[in-house]
Amino acid sequence: MQQTPEKLEIIRPDDFHVHFRDSSMLAAVVPETARHFARAIVMPNLVPPVVSVAQALDYRQRIVSHCDEGFEPLMTLYLTETTTVDELQKAADVDEIKAVKLYPAGATTNSASGVTDVKRVMPLLESMARSGLTLCVHGEVTDPDVDIFDREAVFIDRILEPVRRELPELRIVMEHITTSDGVDFVRSGSANLAATVTPHHLILNRNDLLVGGIRPHYYCLPIVKREKHRVALRKAVTSGDCRFFLGTDSAPHTTETKEAACGCAGVFNASNTMACLAQVFEEEGALQNLEAFCSLNGADFYRLPHNTERLVLQKATKPVSFPSTLAVAGDSEQTVTVFDPGMDIYWTVVDHT
């Protein structure tokens, strides 16, 4: 990494958690990710979900038709209670597939086909522990008696800690952690346990979501938490600890479906993630660790080579602005609202090679 006061050059980053959807939305959002990122772990929560190797490879083809060769989608399978050990073995043998995603049934967008009881998939997780295929986990319980702000901490106690104890060889990424409980859990684990963190959970707390009016574009799952958790996340990612790496959880929904009486969960941040992160790391006095978080730690966990291309960010003297919406291809009416960090951002991506 090279750094001058106004310019920062890092190895081209990867996004280890992104939602691309399909059809016209796919066409609109893939170029936004491919512009700055070399690779991305693509979530499988389509309708219907991506449950087989064949479906994942088909989906991969649809993704690459919207970007040039410089971008590599890394595919995932959606774990269901009817997934077979055979299919998981096939996935482990296919280079294009890097992980399997566990959604607790009902936890989030398109999770209806997810897992109702982790005991039902233990033989599958055992096979993954043997093959080395990574398990990506949406870490929230769905028990209606558990408060939405406690669902991550309860998931760790009830589900993740027992799984980790029973299958220490299983490689687990706790996706989009949002609490100090998540940070502590990952820190207490072995090298087989890591976590992704989103830019928005480093920037927002629950006051930003709810005080002075509800901000539907800040509604995502897991929901943003109280300030002490945001502080803990910032400390974890800026520390350089190799178990924390970037997963944007960029999750496009149309502006219309976000600004609704029952709005969808998801923040679309693919367009300005790198600028926001440079700002966060600068605020924390840790620009020297931005490259580890965005370009090294995740690649190392997934045993991927480091990217050879580079990304250059420049610091402006005045706050920069970003387009506030992205048009959905083929539909002049529909837009996706781009994440507004609600703070001044001075950084822009000026170049990548």
DSSP string, 120-174: GGHHHHHHHHHHTPEEEE------TTS-GGGHHHHHIIIIIHHHHHH-TTS-EEE
Q: Is 331 a catalytic residue?
A: no
Does residue 265 interact with ligand DOR by CB under 6 A?
A: yes
Does residue 138 interact with ligand DOR by CB under 6 A?
A: yes
Residues that bind Zn ion (CB under 5 A): 249
Does residue 271 interact with ligand DOR by CB under 6 A?
A: no
Q: What tokens were used for 335?
A: 């837009």
Q: How far is CA 144 from CA 106, 141, 151, 159, 264, in A?
A: 11, 9, 10, 16, 19
Shortest reach from residue 198's CB to ligand DOR, in Å: 9
Site for ligand DOR in 103-122 (CB under 6 A): 108-109
Pattern 211-250, ligand DOR, x by CB under 6 A: ---------xx---------------------------x-
Does residue 251 interact with ligand DOR by CB under 6 A?
A: yes
Long-range CB contact pairs, 19-23, < 8 A, 24+: 19/43, 19/45, 19/109, 19/249, 19/250, 19/251, 19/252, 19/266, 20/63, 20/73, 21/46, 21/252, 22/46, 22/59, 22/62
- Residue 220 interacts with, from ligand DOR, Zn ion, none (CB under 5-8 Å by kind): ligand DOR
The one catalytic residue in 14, 184, 249, 300 is 249
Q: How far apart are CA 235 and CA 208, in angstroms?
A: 20
- Residue 266 interacts with, from ligand DOR, Zn ion, none (CB under 5-8 Å by kind): ligand DOR
Shortest reach from residue 252's CB to Zn ion, in Å: 11
- Residue 109 interacts with, from Zn ion, ligand DOR, none (CB under 5-8 Å by kind): ligand DOR
Binding site for ligand DOR (CB under 6 A): 19, 45, 108-109, 138, 220-221, 249, 251, 265-266
